[in-house]
């Protein structure tokens, strides 16, 4: 059996898998979130595991709308409920993409910090909006996701890279991510790779 095949794990219940994985990732990162927020994120991961839920199908194409288009749709929505749905979609997609496709940003002009900023702001706006109605519980969930967007992205990065071994080629990318986002996870991985980063660009020292 190949090494790649040995890493494939059969999962009987996807929701339970994501719940256990998220709980473990948050514990390792020493991040505490409310039960309702954890439940929301687990449901989001389970939903977006189906490509038709994540991607937008238009004229036979499968793609993700640019975040700025999602934001414009929210701002131009004809009703409060449609605006809230658009903001929720923007926050959800930003969180999932930043959490599970962080390494895919290497060759893109738009980086992960853009997704973190857009997603956190969308959840924050949504929290204020729904809290004024009967959605106090959801308002609290969105407020926590907005306040802890970066730690949540780190937790999802942890889940997505469970079987990935970081090497020397990852040092610069991890350093750039740490500079842009302040990710505690990136800082920790750099430490394990024998690197001590500082805020001055180019200042990376290697332990011997």
pLDDT digits over 73-83, tens only?
999 999 999 99
Higher pLDDT: 111 or 28? It is 28
Element (H, E) at 61: strand 61-63
pLDDT at 118: 95
Q: Is the pLDDT score of 109 beyond 50?
A: no
pLDDT at 65: 87
- 84-105 average pLDDT score: 88
pLDDT at 195: 67
pLDDT (tens digit per residue) in 151-187: 999 999 888 776 455 555 566 666 777 777 777 777 7
Q: Is the pLDDT score of 86 beyond 90?
A: yes
* pLDDT band, very low/low/confident/very high, at 10 (cuts 50, 70, 90): very low
**Which residues have C-beta within 8 Å of that of residue 5, sequence separation ≥ 6?**
none
Q: Is the pLDDT score of 127 beyond 70?
A: yes
Domain spans of the chain, in order of start: 3-56+63-164, 166-208
pLDDT at 111: 74
Tokens of 112: 């992960």
Tokens of 79: 């009703």
* pLDDT band, very low/low/confident/very high, at 199 (cuts 50, 70, 90): low
Report the alpha-carbon distance of residue 193 to residue 206 in Å, rounded.
Answer: 9
Element (H, E) at 196: strand 195-197
pLDDT (tens digit per residue) in 129-155: 987 666 788 999 999 999 999 999 999
- 98-106 average pLDDT score: 73
pLDDT (tens digit per residue) in 19-67: 998 999 999 889 999 999 999 999 999 998 888 888 876 545 567 888 9
- 95-99 average pLDDT score: 92
Tokens of 159: 């889940």
SS3 of residue 13 by DSSP? coil
Which 8-state DSSP code applies to residue 199? S
pLDDT at 191: 74
78 CB neighbour count, 10 Å cutoff: 7
pLDDT at 71: 94
Report the alpha-carbon distance of residue 124 to residue 147 in Å, rounded.
Answer: 8
Report the alpha-carbon distance of residue 72 to residue 75 in Å, rounded.
Answer: 5
């Amino acid at each position: 059996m190949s090494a790649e095949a040995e890493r494939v794990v059969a999962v009987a219940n996807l929701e339970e898998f994501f719940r256990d994985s998220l709980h473990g990732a948050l514990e390792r990162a020493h991040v505490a979130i409310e039960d309702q927020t954890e439940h929301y994120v687990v449901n989001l991961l389970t939903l977006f595991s189906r490509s038709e839920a994540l991607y937008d199908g238009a004229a036979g194409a499968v793609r993700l709308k640019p975040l700025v288009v999602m934001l414009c749709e929210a701002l131009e929505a004809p009703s409060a409920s449609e605006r809230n749905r658009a903001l929720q979609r923007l926050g959800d997609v930003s969180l999932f993409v930043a959490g599970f496709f962080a390494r895919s940003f290497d060759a893109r002009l738009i980086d992960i910090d853009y997704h973190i900023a857009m997603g956190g702001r969308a959840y924050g706006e949504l929290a204020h909006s729904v809290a004024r109605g009967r959605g106090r519980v959801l308002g609290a969930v969105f407020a926590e996701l907005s306040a802890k967007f970066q730690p949540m992205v780190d937790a999802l990065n942890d889940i997505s890279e469970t079987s990935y071994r970081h090497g020397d080629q990852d040092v610069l990318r991890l350093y750039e991510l740490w500079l842009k986002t302040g990710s505690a996870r990136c800082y920790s991985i750099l430490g394990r790779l024998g690197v001590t980063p500082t805020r001055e660009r180019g200042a990376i020292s290697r332990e011997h």
